[in-house]
Structure 1
Amino acid sequence: MRKALVSALSASVISLGLIGVTATPALAANAVACNQDGFMRIYNSDAVHCFANAGYLDVYITNVNFVFAGNNRVMVRYNDRGGWGSVTLDRWESQGFWDHSVTVEDITIY
């Protein structure tokens, strides 16, 4: 009887422990259709590229001349004629690259 009670209590403790340890969702920014004003936008010579959701995303977008944060705080890392640069924009801010375009290589949406 005692052995059965110990086994039952052990199983209960283990199952409670498993319930208490849950995985947290991974943050992942992703490309989306440009159908809302609040999305982050990257403009290049070919198109407008939109992104949403908090997280980090590797991209390779050439000939970028304008970045708009939308309803997000964002950080954009870019290659500027062989040198690296980055810009952090608060909500509704933008950054233009008017004298020459850059290549955006990663973005973080906070």
Structure 2
Amino acid sequence: MLKRSAILASTAAAAAFGFMGLTATPAQAIDNVTCRDGAGYTEIFNEKRHCFANAGRADVWITNVYEIRANNNNITIWYRYGTGGIAQTQLNKNQNWTNINPRITVEDIQIH
């Protein structure tokens, strides 16, 4: 009986260790934050101003975009014009993409 208990205990310990080894680390996630002038957040403009902070990548769907400001971040955005294919561009810290015409739909954003 003692041998069986020891086997069960070691099996349980191995299973617990295995689960600990498979536990994912928290993903870096962009936060959609309240816009504040001078805060340095990445900003995307359409009928309103959308602001993002922290490194990571996020799926978004922001239509009718006419301006993007990287501010204190290096960013990559994935976008499309109308029903066309997806394209991507990078903006480095303090770069702006202004007067976007025709306007675009931003589908993904990554802050590096």
Q: Structure 2: how far apart are the matches of 1:8 and 1:43?
A: 58
TM-score computed with the length of structure 2 as normaliser: 0.73
- Cα shift at 1:101: 4.1
1:65-76 equivalent positions in 2, closer than 5 A? 65-76=66-77
More strand by share: 1
CA distance in 2, matches of 1:33, 1:50: 6
Q: Measure, in 2, the Cα distance between the counterparts of 1:5 and 1:83.
A: 64
In structure 1, distance between residues paired with 2:94 and 2:59 = 20
**CA–CA distance in structure 1, aligned partners of residues 19 and 78 of structure 2:** 40
Per-residue CA deviation, residues 18-64 of structure 1 (Å, 9 max, x unaligned), is 222212324443422102522110123x22221223212221221x3
Q: Verify: 1:102 aligned to 2:109, yes or no.
A: no
Kindly report structure 1 stretches of 4+ aligned residues shifted beyond 6 Å.
none
**What is the aligned residue count?**
107
CA–CA separation in structure 2 for the residues paired with 1:4 and 1:76? 56
Amino acid at match of 1:51: F
Structure 1 unaligned regions, length at least 5 = none
Distance 1:77 1:8 in 2: 51
* 1:88 paired residue number: 90
Q: Secondary structure at the match of 1:105?
A: strand
